[in-house]
Amino acid sequence: MNILHGFGGQLLLGALATLQLAAAALVLGTLLGAAVCGLQLSGHRVLRAAGDGYAAVVRGIPDLLIVFAVFFGGSLTLAALTGRYVEIDTFLAGVAALALSFGAYAAEIARGALLSVPKTQREAAGTLGLSRAQALWTVVLPQAARFALAPFGNQSIVLLKQTSIVSIVGCDELMRKAAEASGATREPFTMYLAAACIYLALTGFATLCLEWAERRAARPLAA
């Protein structure tokens, strides 16, 4: 007896969409976080305030509201620019909203990691004749990456689970597929339990990858 009533394939398609959402948001959010971190560490007061303000506002707003703001706000903005109603693609809206949220946390992780590198390391690099750019790429960033790896990886796993909120605007990811299957079969417990198992498998694999990366990053220190 097929306990999923033929909806197993649909759930797997939803899982694929979830991975695509998470991957796209991870890349865009990381780039955004790096840019915001640069603003936060800027010597210019206005730029620093802009970076800190973005991080504070986005981290203080529920992710669901960010999804609504991007989806409905994007439609209103395009309507004002084009003079007609334009419906935002749910996948793109989801990626943008998740990237905005992830970028704020990534910025704080990067800022904390960079500030964790002792100033003496920069001074030593200068003593060796390295320029500021060379010191950043060869001395500071490799050390900061070790500090940032664990929190960045954990936040990436959180991002993978956060993709479920995009279902509220109709994006066909795993949670949306589970809801559709639940309505069609009238067996919500079974369908949502199957979705939970898939999420657990995805996050479990991501956790194993993170642990492997942490062990690999720790090898130079052990040596």
What lies within 8 Å, CB to CB, of 90 at 6+ separation is 71, 166, 169, 170, 171, 172
Q: Where are the domains of the chain?
A: 20-173
State mean pLDDT over 15-40.
Answer: 96
For residue range 134-171, what is the model confidence (pLDDT) as tens digits? Answer: 777 888 888 888 889 999 999 999 999 999 999 999 89
pLDDT of residue 5: 85
Summarised one tens digit per residue, pLDDT across range 84-121 is 877 888 999 999 999 999 999 999 999 999 988 888 87
Q: Whole-structure pTM over 0.75, yes or no?
A: yes
Within 13 A of 176's CA, how many CA atoms are on the CB side?
20
pLDDT at 1: 42
Q: For 20-173, CATH number? A: 1.10.3720.10
